[in-house]
Amino acid sequence: MERRPPVSQLHEGLLRQDPAVLGKAITLAESRHPADMLLAAELLARLEGPDRPSLRIGISGPPGVGKSTFIDRFGTMLCRAGHRVAVLAVDPSSSLSGGSILGDKTRMAHLAAEANAFIRPSPSSGVLGGLGRRSRESILLCEEAGFDILLVETVGVGQSEAQIRDLCDLFLLLLLPGAGDDLQGIKRGIMELADLLAVNKCEGENRERALRTQADTQAALHMTQGGADAMDRVHLISALSGEGLEGLWKWIREREATDLSTGRKASRRLEQDGRWFQHELKERLLEELMAREGLSSLLLELQADVLAGRRKAEEAVHAVLEGWRQSGSNFPWTGQSFPKP
């Protein structure tokens, strides 16, 4: 097993913008090993944060819409404009599907060849802890290592978009041309989470259908959200030919400037921090509690009682809470048992 480097060394490596150290730090943050978790917490506590505000862009869309191709091309364009671009691929379904994102380093060959790019594939399916925590920590680590633009790709599976939006300053949803009224299975609610939409694959013979999808999407947004900006927010792009990418970037830059000057960016991040605090606190408290010696066997007993119909579910919950109240921080004390039903 690999020796764990001291936290100070990792932090120095991040500040030195060493990609190998960044990779190690992210692996540490993804680990569920208790010793790693302690080190990761120590490292995260040390982070100073970037000098200039970073730009976090979340990218989602149905499978095959061209997210990886887009990131490859768009990221390369940004690198050549002097940015340092980190790509985090998040695949919440990877434990089920095997994870198409895992092959992304090869699908992002242009970007991978850029000196100012860092591509991190999604964690393997064995990694627990949910999209939010790992990705957020990875983002913070990338920012400490001097990456000013973060591109976070996720597969559009419905559940993940709200979480992605909570990690990003800007949520970009990619659409396929010609999908018509049903909006390719993307629920309206998800469309409304998007700050920016782009119909990809608009080149060549797809053009007409892409234009129609753009118009349909604009109309749908206009209907649900009103306002003239529904028009501006739906772009036509081709990740393959590069068409429309400059225009998209121009829109993003203008929006970023407005968000910075109006304070909208700062307040969105603070709201995200607030939600993350609540979510993380609940998860960690529960984790801590569940890890207590003897508790899992007690809970298994209760569960067996419920399954066998010996005890009502409400009663089982009540028994745990009572046990907790009686023993406080010693919960569960050695030999504690719940009253027999």
Placement of tokens 């050695």 in the chain: 334
For residue 67, state whether it binds ligand GTP (rule: CB under 6 A).
yes
For residue 200, state whether it binds ligand GTP (rule: CB under 6 A).
yes
- Say how far apart CA 78 and CA 111 lie, in whole Å: 10
Residue span 123-162 as binding mask against ligand GTP, x where in contact by CB under 6 A, dash where not: --------------------------------x-------
- Say how far apart CA 228 and CA 33 lie, in whole Å: 51
For residue 37, state whether it binds ligand GTP (rule: CB under 6 A).
no
- Taking the mean position of all CA atoms in its chain, how far away is CA 142? 13
| Residues in 249-288 that interact with ligand GTP by CB under 6 A | none
∠ CA 130-132-133, rounded to 5°:
85
For residue 173, state whether it binds ligand GTP (rule: CB under 6 A).
no
Nearer to ligand GTP, 59 or 139 (CB): 59
3-state secondary structure (DSSP) of residue 85: strand
Do residues 279 and 132 make contact, with C-beta atoms less than 8 angstroms apart?
Answer: yes
From the list 22-30, 163-171, 200-208, 293-301, the region that binds ligand GTP by CB under 6 A is: 200-208
From the list 34-42, 141-149, 198-206, 323-331, the region that binds ligand GTP by CB under 6 A is: 198-206
For residue 31, state whether it binds Mg ion (rule: CB under 5 A).
no
Do residues 161 and 94 make contact, with C-beta atoms less than 8 angstroms apart?
Answer: no
Which residue of 117, 239, 302, 319 would you call a contact of ligand GTP, by CB under 6 A?
239
Do residues 116 and 79 make contact, with C-beta atoms less than 8 angstroms apart?
Answer: yes
Q: Which does 64 bind (CB under 5 to 8 A by kind): Mg ion, ligand GTP, none?
A: ligand GTP
216 CB-near residues (< 8 Å, 6+ apart)? 180, 181, 183
For residue 68, state whether it binds ligand GTP (rule: CB under 6 A).
yes
Token pair of 95 as six digits: 């434990």
For residue 122, state whether it binds ligand GTP (rule: CB under 6 A).
no
For residue 69, state whether it binds ligand GTP (rule: CB under 6 A).
yes
| Residues in 61-90 that interact with Mg ion by CB under 5 A | 67-68
- Say how far apart CA 257 and CA 254 lie, in whole Å: 5
From the list 29-37, 42-50, 64-72, 322-330, the region that binds ligand GTP by CB under 6 A is: 64-72
Q: Across the chain, where does the E strand assignment appear?
A: 55-60, 85-90, 117-120, 149-154, 170-175, 196-199, 234-236
Q: Which does 141 bind (CB under 5 to 8 A by kind): ligand GTP, Mg ion, none?
A: none
| Residues in 91-120 that interact with ligand GTP by CB under 6 A | 100-101, 107
Nearest Cα residue to 277 out of 73, 132, 178, 159: 132
For residue 199, state whether it binds ligand GTP (rule: CB under 6 A).
no
Q: Which residues bind Mg ion (CB under 5 A)?
A: 67-68
Interface residues with ligand GTP (CB under 6 A) are: 61, 63-69, 100-101, 107, 155, 200-201, 203, 238-240
